[in-house]
Chain A
Amino acid sequence: MHFHIAVAVIIWAALFVESRKIRGISISYKRFYKERKSFLCIDGSKLIPFEQVNDDYCDCADGSDEPGTAACPSGRFYCTNLGFRPHYIQSSRVNDGICDCCDGSDEYSSPALCQKTCRNLGQQERAELEERMRMLSEGLLMKRQLVEEGADVWREKQAELTDLQKVAEDLQVRLEYLRRRKSDAGAQKEKALTAAQHPTGQEGLRSQIRAELPLDDHGQSLQDTDRLGDKDEGVEPRTDSAAPREESPNEAEVRGGDPSEDDPDVKAAVEAAESAVSDLNKAEEAHQRLQMEIRELEERLAIDYGPEREFLFLLGRCFQITAYEYSYTLCPFNQVTQKSQMGTEVLLGKWDAWDGPPEDLYGVMKYDRGEPCWQGPTRSTHVQLVCGTDSTLRWVKEPSKCHYAMELQTPAACQPQQPSRRGVHNEL
C-alpha cells in the first residue's frame, strides 16, 4: 500500500515539476501560469513579473497572482486532495493553523500538523455515495409503489366523495319534505286545539283532523320516515326503500287506541306536530354531519400531495420522535403536537402548505397556527423531507422559541438524480 502511494507521489511530482512554484491551482488553470517573464492577472487588469506570483503579496485585484498564499482577500486555493474530491478553499484558510485540505496542502508553512485524510475520506465518501445510491434506487422503487397506492387511495376517496354527495342530495329532498310536514302538522295542531275549545258540532272537523293526522313513528330510521311520507303525501317513492312495512306501536295506538279522557284528537295532533319537529331536527343534524364530512373530504382532496400524489399515503398516518423530555407527533397534512413527560399536549402547528424553495417546493412542509406562546408568537413547525427507504422522523429541534423544525425521512421524497454537481465545482 505504502509503496503504491510512494509511486503515485513520484509520478505526480514528475508530472508537475515544471510548475512546482505554482501552488494552489488546478490543472485547468495551469495554462494561465506558464513560466514566462511576466504574469498577466487573469482578469487582464495588470501585468507583473512572474516572480511575483505566489510571493505572498497581492498584486492582482482578482487575486490570481496568489493562488497559493493568503495574500489576496478574495483569492482561493485549490486543494488537490488526491484520493478524495479536489476543491477550493478561501485564501484566508491557507496557513491559518487549521487543516482544511485533506491532503494538508493548505498548511505548508504553519505549525499545524495535518493528518492526510483524503484516502479515508474518499473511501468514506464512496461508501456513503454507494449507500445513498442504493437507498435512492430502493427509495425510488418504493416511491413508485407509493404513487400507485396513492392513485388507488385517490380514486377511492373520489368515489367516497361522489357517494357522499349523492346521499347529500337525497337528504336535501327529504329535508324539504320534512319541513313541509312540520308546518302542516303545526297547522293541524292549531286546528285541533281550536276545535277542542268549541265542543258542539265539531265532530266533522274532528274526524277530518284525525284523518289528516300525519302518522308518527318515533325513533324510526330515515327510510322509515320516508315511507310514512310516501303513504300520506304521495311523495315520489324511493327506489331503495324496498323494506317491508311495519306498524309501529304508536301507529297502532293512534288508530285503535282508546281515546283518553282528554280529547284524543287534540292529543294526536300535538303528538304528530312534535314528532314532525323532532324528525326534521334529526334529519337536519344528519345533513350537517354529512356536509361536514363532504367538506373535510373535499379539503383533503384539495391538498397538494405532490406531482404524483406520492405524499398521499402519509395522510392519516402519524410519526413520533422523542427528544429530551418531550415526545413529538407529526400527522402529515394534519398537525404537529408535543407531549411532555407530565402528559400535557401542545399543538405545534396545523397543516398550512408546502414551503420549500421554488426549485424544491416539496422539500419542506409548513405547519402553523399552533398554540400561542406566552409573550411570543404562535407555535409553528417546518418539516424537512429527505429521501429514505422508510418513513420516519429523524430529528426535531427548536431553533428559536416556539419555532420547531423536524426532518421526515420517506421514500416519497426521493428524487431521480439530477445531472450531478459532483466533482470540482466553482470553476470559473
Chain B
Amino acid sequence: MYMQTCVMGLLLVALLPVLFSIADAVDRSNFKTCDQSAFCKRQRDVKPGQSPYRALLETMELSEARLTLQLINDNNKVRLLLELYRLQGNMTRVRINELKPLRPRYEVPDVLIQEPPTESLLLLERDEHGMVLSLGVDDQRLIINARPFRLDIMDGPKVLLSLNSRGLLVFEHLRLRKDTISHKISSTVGSMWDKIKSVFSSKTEADAEGVENDVEQNEAEKVEEVEEVTEEEEQPGMWEETFKSHSDAKPSGPSSISLDFSFPGVDHVYGIPEHADSLKLRTTDGGEPYRLYNLDVFQYELYNPMALYGAVPVLLSHTAERTMGLFWLNAAETWVDISSSRAVQGGGDAPQTDVRWISESGIIDVFIMLGPRPTDVISQYASLTGTQSFPPLSALAYHQCRWNYNDQEDVQAVDNGFDEYDIPYDFIWLDIEHTDGKRYFTWDPNKFSQPREMLQNLKDKKRKMVTIVDPHIKVDSSYKIHKEIRSKDFYIKNKDGGDYEGWCWPGNAGYPDFTNPEMRAWWATMFAYDQYEGTMDNLYTWNDMNEPSVFNGPEVTMHKDALHGGWEHRDVHNLYGFYVQMATAQGLIQRSGGVERPFVLTRAFFAGSQRYGAVWTGDNAAEWGHLKMSIPMCLSLGLVGISFCGADVGGFFKTPSPELLVRWYQAGAYQPFFRAHAHLDTPRREPWLFGPENTALIREAVRQRYTLLPYWYQLFYNAHRTGQPVMRPLWLEYPGDPATFAIEDEFLLGKDLLVHPVTDEGSHGVTAFLPGEGEVWYDVHTYKKHQGNLNLYIPVTMNSIPVFQRGGSIITRKERVRRSSSCMEDDPYTLYVAVNAQGTAEGELYIDDGHTFNYEKQNQFIHRRLTFTEGSLSSSNLSPDSQFSTASWVEKVIFIGVPKPSAATLRTADGAESPLEFEFDPASELLALRKPGVNAGADWTIHLR
C-alpha cells in the first residue's frame, strides 16, 4: 500500500530521514546492495573454477528412491551430505546439508503440499570418477562427477543442466566463534551437549544403546573434524554486521550457501519474482544480482533487480526444444546471479545461461523440473506447491479501493455513484483509516459506527467489502488483540528475549509469530463474526505490510536476529507474509463453517502463496512506465503459480492524467486482479470524475470485464485444477517460436484471447504480434480476421482495447452486464465460436454456485465441453460425476469466420429438433443464431447446413 504519510507527528519525525530523503523515487541507500550484505559479498567474491568439493563415492548409499553421498571440502575438511531423489513427474530433488551441523539448519516447512512422491533411482554405471544414474524418462541420466564434485543431467548425449560446473558450491558450515566470549558460550553449549547425552544414557538400555552409539559416533567424528578442519580465515561480517544504524548480532555466525547451475543452449530464463523488471531475466554480470528478500519499498524503480514485497525462488529456462525449472526452496535472503555466455558446443556457437543462487542460511534444497514442455514445468511445480486457490466469482470482478473511503456516508456515496453512472462493481475497500487508531479488527467509532448496517446496505445491492488487516499489532494494553497475543506469548521476540517491537502505522507495534501454528490457529479464530465485531459474510480481507514492514527496522523490515521460537528471523523472513495470508484465509474459511471460499489479498508472498488468494504489485505510481510494467510483473508471477495478480489501476502514488487512468482501466480489465487504488494524498478519482467521455470509456472497459467473467471463471477453475496460469506470456503457448520469447507488451488469457493493451501516452496505434503459423485471430470488436505469425499494426483511438480471439476457440460471455457479478448469476450465455483454418473450434464452460466449496466437496458444478466440427456445435459433459443445476441458458451463438448456412437446427437431448433463426453478415463472416434457449447445463447440438 504505502510507505508514506502521517501516522503521528512523533513517528514522522523519527522516520523522516529514513523514508523521505528522496521525494519521488526509491531511496536506494535504504536497501542493501550485494556488497553491503556480508554473505552476498563473501559468496560473490568466490571465483568460479576452483571447487574444493569432492564426492566421497565410497559413502554412497542407494535405497529405492534416495541416494546419499558425502561431499568433502578439501580446504577445511568439512563434510556435507548430498541427497538425491527422483520425483514423480520428471523432477529431481537435490538436497545438500552439513553432515554433522553444530546445530540444526532451517528447512522450510509448509510450502510443499506434501512430501513429494518419489520414483526409483537406478544405478547404471560406477567407477572411481563417478557414477551414472537413470532418471527413468527416455534417455535422461544423472551423472555424478567425483572430483571436483559436479552433477550433470543429460538427455541422450545432450547436457540439459549442470550443477557446480563452475565450482560455486559454497556451504558455510556452522562453527564456534574464536574470541573468548564466544568460547565461553560454546563451552556452555558443549556442556549442554553433555547433559543431553547423559539424559539419553539414563534412559533404558535398549533405547539408549542406539542413541548412545549415534552420539558416540558423532563425538568421534567431531573429534576427527576438529583435528581435520583447518580454520578458515575470519572475514568481516561473519559474526556481526551493521547496516546504517542497525546492527545484526549474528550469534550463529556465517551460514550462507551457494550453488551454480548451467543451462547449455539456453538464452532465455524467466521467473524469480518479485522484481519491477522485464519478463526475460537479464544478465547480472557487472551489476547487482536479482534479490529475493521481502521488503516494503517506497516508490520502487522500474527495470531494477532490487527486492520487492514478495519472493518466489523459482526460475524457468526455455528454448524452442525444452523448458525446465529450478525451485530453490529457501526462505532466507537470497540473491540470484545470471550470466549468459556463448559456448562452443558441438562445433557451433551456442548460448549458455549460468545461474547462481546465494542464500544467507538454511540448506540447499532444490527441485529440478525437467519439463520438457512449458506446461509440464508448470504442472511439475504445481505438484510441489499447489495451485491457485479458486476465488469466489465476484473476486474476479471489479474492485474499487482508495486510501481511504472516509466514513460510512462516503462509502454509500461512492456505492451510489456506481449506480448513478451505471458502472458495475463488486467490492469496495477500506484501507487503514477505517480502524480505531490502526487497531486491526476494530472500526473507527465515529466514522464507522454502524459497520453491519453499512455491510447490509452493500449486501442489499449484492456487493461486498474488503477491510485491511495488517500483521503489526498496536502495543496497547487496552486492545484486545494485543492483550491476547501477549498473554499467549505469540509475539516474535527480539534477540534478548523480550517481545520484538517496531514502528508501523499504529506507532509502536508487536509482530505476531505467524510461523507458529498455534498462533495461526488463534489468528484464524479472530475472523469469526463474534470476534471481529461488526462483520458479515460479505466482508473479506486484505493483508498489507506483511513483509513484514517495520518503519524503523533495517531496510524497513525486521531485524534478522529477532527470534521465532528457536529460529532466527533470518531463516524465515520470506515466509512471514505467506503465513499471514495462510492464517487469514483459514480464518475466513472457518467463520463460515468451512462452507465459503475465502478471498484474501496479500502484498508479501512466497512459493505456495497461490493457495491462499490474490497478490498485487504493491505501491506503484501513476506513470505510463508503471502501467507497462504491470504486464511483465504479473506474467512472471503467473509462471511461478501465482495467477491471481494485478496492479493498482491508476497507479498508487501520484495523480494519473485522465488518459492514463482510462488506459489503465482498459489494461486492468484484462488482468486477473482488477482493482483501482489511490494514495491518500491524491485527489479523488472515482470513474465519473473526469467528464462524461472518460466516464463512458471507463464504463465500457469495466463492462467488457463483466461480459467475460464466465471465461475468467473458467480460466481460474482451470488454474486451480492444473496450475496453468490465467495470464500467460506468448511463449508458453507458442514455445517453438523464438519471436515470442521476449514479448512482454502483450499476453494471452488462457490460450484463446490475446490482449495488447495501449500503454503509451497519445498513442495512435500499437503493433501486436499475432503468433502461430497457420493460426487465425479475430479482433473481438470488429471480428476482422488476421493470419497468425505476423506483426499487425492496429490504429487505436481512446476507446480501443486491442483484443483478439484465437480461431479454433469458443469463448462464453454473459452480455447482460448488471450492477455486480452476483446480479448476473442466472443470466444467459452467449457463445463466441471463432473457427480456425480447418473450420473447427472448441471451448469449455464451467458453472457452479460461485462462492462455496460445494464444487469440491459435493461435486456440485457443471463442466462442459463445447466443440464445433463439420458444421455441428455441441455441448457435452466433461464431468459426468458432478451435478449442479443452473438457471442460465444459451441466449445466442455467434460464429466468426463461417460461410452462410442455409439452415440451422437445434437438437436437444430428448431428440427434438427445431429450426433456429439467424442473421449473417457476409462482410465479416459473422453468423448470429437467435435464442437456442437451451439450459447451459444440458446436452445439445446445433447443426449448420
A401 contacts partner chain B, Cβ-Cβ < 8 Å: yes
A374 contacts partner chain B, Cβ-Cβ < 8 Å: yes
A142 contacts partner chain B, Cβ-Cβ < 8 Å: no
Cβ of B684 and Cβ of A400 under 8 Å apart?
Answer: yes
Cβ of A70 and Cβ of B818 under 8 Å apart?
Answer: yes
Cβ of B819 and Cβ of A92 under 8 Å apart?
Answer: yes
A28 contacts partner chain B, Cβ-Cβ < 8 Å: no
Q: Which of A93-101, A181-189, A265-273 contacts B (4 or more CB under 8 A)?
A: A93-101
Taking A96-B823, A98-B461, A324-B447 as contacts, is the C-beta distance between A376 and B681 under 8 angstroms?
Answer: yes
Q: How far, in Å, is A110 (CB) from chain B's closest CB?
A: 8
Q: In the assembled complex, which residues on chain B have CB atoms less than 8 Å from the CB atom of A400?
A: 682-684
Cβ-closest chain B residue relative to A99: B460
CB-contact partner of A324 in B20, B446, B819, under 8 A:
B446
Cβ-closest chain B residue relative to A374: B6
A73 contacts partner chain B, Cβ-Cβ < 8 Å: yes
The size bracket of the interface on A is 20 to 34
CA distance A48 to B134 in the complex (A): 72
Cβ of A375 and Cβ of B681 under 8 Å apart?
Answer: yes
B207 contacts partner chain A, Cβ-Cβ < 8 Å: no
Q: In the assembled complex, which residues on chain B have CB atoms less than 8 Å from the CB atom of A374?
A: 5-6, 12
A71 contacts partner chain B, Cβ-Cβ < 8 Å: yes
Q: How far, in Å, is A109 (CB) from chain B's closest CB?
A: 10
Q: In the assembled complex, which residues on chain B have CB atoms less than 8 Å from the CB atom of A97?
A: 462, 822-823
Q: In the assembled complex, which residues on chain A have CB atoms less than 8 Å from the CB atom of B20?
A: 375
CA distance A97 to B820 in the complex (A): 11
CB-contact partner of A92 in B462, B680, B683, B818, under 8 A:
B818
Cβ of B819 and Cβ of A403 under 8 Å apart?
Answer: no
CA distance A399 to B402 in the complex (A): 11
Cβ of B681 and Cβ of A90 under 8 Å apart?
Answer: no
Q: In the assembled complex, which residues on chain B have CB atoms less than 8 Å from the CB atom of A55?
A: 931
Instruction: Kindly identify, within residues 363 to 416 of chain A, every residue whose CB is under 8 Å from any CB belonging to chain B.
Output: 373-377, 397-403
Q: In the assembled complex, which residues on chain B have CB atoms less than 8 Å from the CB atom of A71?
A: 816, 891
Q: In the assembled complex, which residues on chain A have CB atoms less than 8 Å from the CB atom of B823?
A: 92, 96-98
Q: How far, in Å, is B168 (CB) from chain A's closest CB?
A: 45
Contact flags A171-187 to B (C-beta < 8 A → 1, else 0) = 00000000000000000
Q: How far, in Å, is B14 (CB) from chain A's closest CB?
A: 15
A57 contacts partner chain B, Cβ-Cβ < 8 Å: yes
Q: In the assembled complex, which residues on chain A have CB atoms less than 8 Å from the CB atom of B460?
A: 98
B698 contacts partner chain A, Cβ-Cβ < 8 Å: no
CA distance A401 to B4 in the complex (A): 13
Q: How far, in Å, is B703 (CB) from chain A's closest CB?
A: 8
Q: How far, in Å, is B415 (CB) from chain A's closest CB?
A: 12
Taking A98-B460, A98-B823 as contacts, is the C-beta distance between A73 and B683 under 8 angstroms?
Answer: no
Cβ of A57 and Cβ of B930 under 8 Å apart?
Answer: yes
Taking A92-B816, A375-B681 as contacts, is the C-beta distance between A399 and B406 under 8 angstroms?
Answer: yes
Q: In the assembled complex, which residues on chain A have CB atoms less than 8 Å from the CB atom of B930?
A: 57, 59
Q: In the assembled complex, which residues on chain B have CB atoms less than 8 Å from the CB atom of A93?
A: 818-819
CA distance A398 to B460 in the complex (A): 27
Instruction: Kindly identify, within residues 136 to 195 of chain A, every residue whose CB is under 8 Å from any CB belonging to chain B.
Output: none
Q: How far, in Å, is B298 (CB) from chain A's closest CB?
A: 12
Cβ of B816 and Cβ of A70 under 8 Å apart?
Answer: yes
Q: In the assembled complex, which residues on chain A have CB atoms less than 8 Å from the CB atom of B212?
A: none
Taking A57-B931, A373-B681, A398-B406 as contacts, is the C-beta distance between A98 and B4 under 8 angstroms?
Answer: no
Q: In the assembled complex, which residues on chain A have CB atoms less than 8 Å from the CB atom of B5?
A: 374-375
Cβ of B819 and Cβ of A96 under 8 Å apart?
Answer: yes
Instruction: Kindly identify, within residues 818 to 843 of chain B, every residue whose CB is under 8 Å from any CB belonging to chain A.
Output: 818-819, 822-824, 827
Cβ of B816 and Cβ of A403 under 8 Å apart?
Answer: no
Instruction: Kindly identify, within residues 61 to 98 of chain A, every residue whose CB is under 8 Å from any CB belonging to chain B.
Output: 70-71, 73, 90, 92-93, 96-98
Taking A57-B891, A96-B823, A399-B410 as contacts, is the C-beta distance between A73 and B462 under 8 angstroms?
Answer: no
Q: In the assembled complex, which residues on chain B have CB atoms less than 8 Å from the CB atom of A90?
A: 422
Q: In the assembled complex, which residues on chain A have CB atoms less than 8 Å from the CB atom of B936?
A: none
CB-contact partner of B410 in A324, A375, A397, under 8 A:
A397
Q: How far, in Å, is A173 (CB) from chain B's closest CB?
A: 54
B225 contacts partner chain A, Cβ-Cβ < 8 Å: no
CA distance A401 to B931 in the complex (A): 51
Cβ-closest chain B residue relative to A395: B409
Q: In the assembled complex, which residues on chain A have CB atoms less than 8 Å from the CB atom of B447?
A: 324
B815 contacts partner chain A, Cβ-Cβ < 8 Å: yes
Q: How far, in Å, is A129 (CB) from chain B's closest CB?
A: 21
Cβ of A73 and Cβ of B406 under 8 Å apart?
Answer: no
Cβ of B815 and Cβ of A403 under 8 Å apart?
Answer: no
8 A–B contacts, CB within 8 A, in A order: A71-B891, A73-B817, A92-B816, A97-B822, A98-B460, A374-B5, A401-B680, A403-B683
Known: A73-B817, A96-B819, A375-B5; 20 extra A-B contacts, CB below 8 A, are A55-B931, A57-B892, A70-B827, A73-B816, A92-B819, A93-B818, A96-B824, A97-B822, A98-B461, A98-B462, A98-B819, A374-B6, A377-B681, A397-B409, A399-B406, A401-B680, A401-B681, A401-B682, A403-B683, A403-B684
The 9 closest A-B pairs by CB, nearest first: A96-B823, A376-B681, A57-B931, A92-B818, A400-B683, A400-B684, A96-B818, A324-B446, A401-B680
| Chain B residues within 8 Å of A, Cβ to Cβ | 4-6, 12, 20, 23, 406, 409-410, 422, 446-447, 460-462, 680-684, 815-819, 822-824, 827, 891-892, 930-931
| Chain A residues within 8 Å of B, Cβ to Cβ | 55, 57, 59, 70-71, 73, 90, 92-93, 96-98, 324, 373-377, 397-403
